[in-house]
Amino acid sequence: MPEKTKPSAASVDPETSSHISVRQLYTPVDLDNWDYDEQAGYPGDFPYTRGVQPTMYRGRLWTMRQYAGMGDAEESNKRYKYLLGHGTTGLSVAFDLPTQIGLDSDHPLAAGEVGKVGVAIDSLEDIERLFDGIDLTKTSTSMTINATAPILLALYVAVARKKGADIRKLSGTVQNDVLKEYIARGTYIYPISHAMRLVTDLFAWSNQHVPEWNTISISGYHIREAGATAVQEVAFTLGNGCAYVEAALRAGLDVDVFAPRLSFFFNAHNNFLEEVAKFRAARRMWARIMREKLGAKNPRSWMLRFHAQTAGSTLTAQQPENNIVRTAIQAMAAVLGGTQSLHTNSYDEALSLPTEQAARIALRTQQIVAFESGVPNTIDPLAGSYFIESLTDEIEKRANEYLQKIEALGGMLKAIERGFVQQEIQNAAYEQQKSVESGEATVVGVNRFTQESSGQVPIQRVDESLERKQVERLRALRAKRDQKMWKKKIEMIQNAARSGENLMPKIVDAVEAYATVGEISDAMRAVFGEYQETVVI
C-alpha cells in the first residue's frame, strides 16, 4: 500500500459567504470535543439539529409549493389550477404592492402597480374569484403578506365560511412578519409598536378560531435577498423570532399555546454545504432559545419548522438557463437541510414573472429531487461529516455573537430603530458586490464564461387592461354594498384600535361587509399613523 500523505495547504483558504474560512481537509480531530447528544441527537428529539420529525421524508415529503400571483384574481386562479394539476401540494400566494401596503387598486399611488408583482386583492369578491373551484380544507395555502396580514387572513376565513367550510380545518401560513419589512423590504405601514400589536392580535385570534393555521412565518429569506450573509440570516431571523415571542408574552399569551404554530422562512442560497449547515444550526439555536431563554415547556414549542425558497437574488438575466442548475443545487441544499416546505424559482425570474413552462420546470426540479435523487430515503444524510458538523457549530457560534450584540443594544426592536441590523446587511451586500465586480467571486455567465445573447427568452406579460378592469370592479362593489353597514364596521375598527381591543374580530366583520383592504388599512392609519423610516448614514 502506498504511504498516505496529507494534502498540501493552499496559500489562502477559500471562504463561505459568511467569511468562514474553509480548510483543505477536515478530520476526526475537528470533532474531538464534539458531544453527539448535545450537538446533534436524534431526529425528532431536542435540539432537533437532525430534523424536527423522527422519520422526516421517510414519513412524508416536504410540501411542494410554487409562489404565484399576477394580474387579477381570475388570472392567478388559472395559474393555481395549472400548478395543482402538475403536482404542487400547496399554494403560495404573491400579492401586488398596493395590496401589500394597504392601498386599493384605484388609489393614485397604485397606478401602474396593480397586479404587477402579484395578484391584486381589494375585497371579498376578489378573494372569492382567487380561490374559485379550490377546496380550501384540502389545500394548504401560504400567503406572503405582512403589513396587511390580518386583513388577508380575515378575507381567507370569510371566503371559507361562504363556501361552507369548517374554518378550524383550514391549514396554511400567513407571513405576518413585519419586522423584516423595516429591515429589508419596506412594505410596512404603521409604527413598529402598532404593527407588533396587530401581529399578537392575529396570534390570539387564530389560536382560538383557526388552530391549524401557522400564524407567522418569521422570514430570513428577504433579509438574505437584501444582501445578508448566511450567519446574519440566521441571527437576525431568530432575533426577530425572539421579539415576536416576547411581544406575545407581554400581551398575556401562553407561550406553549401560540409557539407551536410559529414557522420560519429561509433562503436556500448558492454555497451548498454552508446552506445545509445553516438550516441545522438554526434549528438547534431556536430549540435552545425557546427552552432556556423564553421558558417554553412543550417540545413542539422548541421546534423550528421552516419553508425554504431558492435564492431569487442569485438568478441572472444573462444565460438564464443557468438558473435551472442554480435552483436545483439550492433545492437540494434545502432538502438536505430538512425543510418542511419548498418553493423553487423559475429560470426566467430575472427577466419577468415566470411563464407556465418555466414554472413547470421549477416544479419538476423538486419532483426530481424527491423521486429520483434518493436523498429523501434517509434522514439528515450529511450528519457526521467532519466539515458539516464543524460548519454547523461555527455558524451557531457566530450567529450567537450577533444575538449578544443585539441584546446589548436593548433587543431587536431597538437594534432595528437604531439602524444596526440594516447597516450590517448593507455592509455585507456592498462587500459581496465588490467581490463580484473585482472578479474575486465568480458568477457564471456574468463575470466569467460569458457569451453573446443566444436568443430571446419568452416573457410573461401582464395584460395592461387588467388594471382598468380591477378598478371598475372595485368601484362597482362600493356602489352596491350596504353603505350603512360598511360605515358601522369601519367605525368599529377605529374604536377597537383606540381601545386596545383585539382587532381581528372587527376586521373579519368588516371584510364580510365588503370593506376593502385600503379602507380597513386607512381606518387603522387614522389611529396609528404611519411609520417614518430612520435614515442610516
Pairing verdict, β 216-219 and 262-268: parallel
pLDDT in tens, 74-103: 999 999 999 999 999 889 999 999 999 999
Q: Answer yes or no: is 451 within a domain.
A: no
pLDDT in tens, 409-447: 999 999 999 999 999 999 999 999 999 999 999 999 999
Q: Which helix (H) or strand (E) holds 307?
A: strand 306-310
Residues 69 and 207 in one domain: yes
pLDDT in tens, 359-405: 999 999 999 999 999 999 999 999 999 999 999 999 999 999 999 99
Residues 199 and 91 in one domain: yes
Q: Answer yes or no: is 185 within a domain.
A: yes
Q: Residues of 93-119 as b/e, b for ≥16 C-beta within 10 angstroms?
A: bbbbbbbbbbbbbbbeebeebbbbebb
**Is residue 245 predicted with pLDDT exceeding 50?**
yes
Q: Answer yes or no: is 333 within a domain.
A: yes
Residues 170 and 272 in one domain: yes
Instruction: Round the average pLDDT of the chain to a whole number and report it.
Output: 94
**Is residue 120 predicted with pLDDT exceeding 50?**
yes
Q: What is the predicted pLDDT for the residue at 464?
A: 81
Q: How far, in Å, CA of 74 to CA of 134, rounded? A: 13
Q: How far, in Å, CA of 332 to CA of 311, rounded? A: 13
In the chain, what percentage of residues exceed pLDDT 70? 97
Residues 288 and 371 in one domain: yes
In sequence order, which residues have a C-beta less than 8 Å from that of residue 300 and are 6 or more positions away? 259, 260
Please give the radius of gyration of the chain, using alpha carbons only, rounded to the nearest integer: 23
In sequence order, which residues have a C-beta less than 8 Å from that of residue 321 and are 6 or more positions away? 347
Residues 234 and 348 in one domain: yes
Domain end residue (candidates: 403, 438, 456): 403
Q: Answer yes or no: is 196 within a domain.
A: yes
Q: Which helix (H) or strand (E) holds 217?
A: strand 216-219
pLDDT in tens, 518-536: 999 999 999 999 998 766 5
**What pLDDT band is residue 11 in, cutting at 50, 70 and 90?**
low
Q: What is the predicted pLDDT for the residue at 459?
A: 77
Residues 194 and 332 in one domain: yes
pLDDT in tens, 462-498: 778 899 999 999 999 999 999 999 999 999 999 999 9
Q: What is the predicted pLDDT for the residue at 1?
A: 45
Q: Answer yes or no: is 224 within a domain.
A: yes
Residues 362 and 233 in one domain: yes
**What pLDDT band is residue 2 in, cutting at 50, 70 and 90?**
very low
**Mean pLDDT in residue range 321-325:** 97
Q: What is the predicted pLDDT for the residue at 225?
A: 97
Domain span including residue 502: 467-528
Residues 475 and 389 in one domain: no
Alpha helices in 54-176 (DSSP H): 73-85, 97-100, 124-130, 149-162
Q: How far, in Å, CA of 218 to CA of 183, rounded? A: 13
Q: What is the predicted pLDDT for the residue at 90?
A: 87
**Is residue 10 predicted with pLDDT exceeding 90?**
no
Q: What is the CATH number of the domain that holds 108?
A: 3.20.20.240
Residues 265 and 337 in one domain: yes
Residues 488 and 389 in one domain: no
Residues 368 and 479 in one domain: no
* Number of domains composing the chain: 2
**What pLDDT band is residue 70 in, cutting at 50, 70 and 90?**
confident
**Is residue 450 predicted with pLDDT exceeding 70?**
yes
In the chain, what percentage of residues exceed pLDDT 90? 89
**What pLDDT band is residue 454 in, cutting at 50, 70 and 90?**
low
Q: Answer yes or no: is 269 within a domain.
A: yes
**What pLDDT band is residue 7 in, cutting at 50, 70 and 90?**
low
Residues 355 and 493 in one domain: no
Q: Answer yes or no: is 455 within a domain.
A: no
Domain end residue (candidates: 403, 423, 438): 403
Q: Answer yes or no: is 73 within a domain.
A: yes
> Residue 251 is placed in which grid cell?
400581551
Domain end residue (candidates: 381, 403, 425): 403
